[in-house]
Amino acid sequence: MGKKATPLYIMLLAGALLGLVLLLSWPLLGQPWIFCRGTDIDINSGDTRHGVYVLSLCMKNEIQESDLSREVRRLGIAIPATRVWKRAFESHLVNQSHTDYSYGHVVATCDQLLCILDLTKASDQERRVALESLMTGLRTGNPHQAQDQLFLLMDEIGERHGLEVFDNPELKEYLKTLRKQREAQPAVP
C-alpha cells in the first residue's frame, strides 16, 4: 500500500509546476499578440483611444479627448462624424518595448504646436486657421506629410510672432524647400 501525499508535498509540486509554466511562457508574454497596450488617434477629431489587448482581443477600450481635439471643438472646427483610427503608440508586457508608429510622432508634434500657439498668445482666428489646416492635412495626407505640415505651421507662427521655433540649420533648409514646393503647386479652388 502506497503512502498518501501530504498537503505540503502537493503544494510544493503545484508551486514547482506553476514556476515551470511561467518560466516556459515568459518569452511568449512579450509578444504583441499575447498582451499589448495601444494608443490610437482619430485623425478626424484628434481624440485618442487607449486599448488593452490580450490574445489579440480587445479587453478594454477608452476614448478620451486630447488637448488637440478639445481645442478643435472649442474653436468650432468641423469634425466628420466617422472616426478614422490610426495607431500611434504600442507597448508590451514583458520586454517593456514601446513602439512609436508614424502617427505617434504626429501626436507629439501636435502638442508642440499647441504649446507654440499658447506661447505666442495666438488669437482664436489664428488658432482656427492653423488647426483647420492641420486637421485637413491629417485627413487627406499621410503621417509624414502631416508631420511636415506641422513643422511648417510651427515655423510660420513663430516667425509671425518673432519666435525662433527651430534652431537646427538642416531642418530650416528642409522647411525652405517645403515652402518652395508648396508655392510651386497650383492653388486648389
Q: Write out pLDDT tens, residues 123-170.
A: 999 999 999 999 999 998 888 899 999 999 999 999 999 999 999 999
pLDDT (average), residues 101-110: 88
pLDDT the model gives residue 141: 81
Q: How confident is the model at residue 185 (pLDDT cuts 50, 70, 90)?
A: confident
Q: Is 134 exposed, middle or buried (0-12, 13-18, 19+ CB in 10 A)?
A: buried
Angle, vertex CA 50, rays to CA 48 and CA 51, nearest 5: 145
pLDDT the model gives residue 54: 81
Strand order through the sheet with 57-64: 57-64, 48-54, 35-42, 85-92, 98-100
Calculate the alpha carbon distances from 95 to 46, 75, 167 in Å.
Answer: 29, 42, 36
pLDDT beyond 90 at 27: no
pLDDT the model gives residue 155: 95
pLDDT the model gives residue 25: 64
pLDDT beyond 90 at 97: no
pLDDT the model gives residue 65: 96
Q: What is the amino acid identity at position 96?
A: Q
pLDDT the model gives residue 175: 93
pLDDT beyond 90 at 26: no
Percent of the chain surpassing pLDDT 90: 54
pLDDT beyond 90 at 186: no
Per-domain residue ranges for the chain? Answer: 35-183
pLDDT the model gives residue 183: 85
Q: How confident is the model at residue 24 (pLDDT cuts 50, 70, 90)?
A: low
pLDDT the model gives residue 124: 97
